Structure 1
Amino acid sequence: MSLRYTERLAEAGIELCVGSVGDSYDNALAETVIGLFKTKVIHWRGPWRSFEAVELATLEWVDWFNTRRLLEPIGNVPPAEAEAHYYAQIEAQAWAA
């Protein structure tokens, strides 16, 4: 099954994006984010009346997680702001060169 899957991805021009064998760090990060989401949204704000309500809450949480939450390790700024600052520095360096 996995060989067929890999072949099909190659035919479609899609590269696999998986960790190396025995490297669980990428999976651990995903599970941590999913656990945080379930704790802060699914369990905290439930019970849910509809699929649409869960979908809207998910969109709101993802927006907050990516654009507004403050991260201490990067200077108490949101991830989107830190990323914009990083790329602005890269662009400034390119223009200076």
Structure 2
Amino acid sequence: MRPINLILLSLVFTSYSAHASSEAAWKKNDQNLKTACIKVSQLKNTKVVSDIISFDDQVGYSALVLEGNYPQAHMKNKLGRELCLWQRAKQKAFIAEADTLLKLKK
């Protein structure tokens, strides 16, 4: 095998292994996402009520739905939902009210 082919082949294997993520890394990322989303939530007693939805790497976001109670007195502890978008590259969470995203149980 020529030296250039050997170098190219080793670069391919090196770059592949550098991008592979372990199960533990995925679990840690999922936990970071959930923790960050709950932290920026405007609801009280917030909990995650959906699976994580991961968009393609070109988009760079993951999403999940949170549920909790509105803290404002005039809302009388009403149940509410929020959509959390997680920007994977910057490890940052963004929240939007999402009461109409999924039907709420009364």
Q: TM-score, structure 2 length as denominator?
A: 0.30
**Structure number with larger C-alpha Rg:** 2
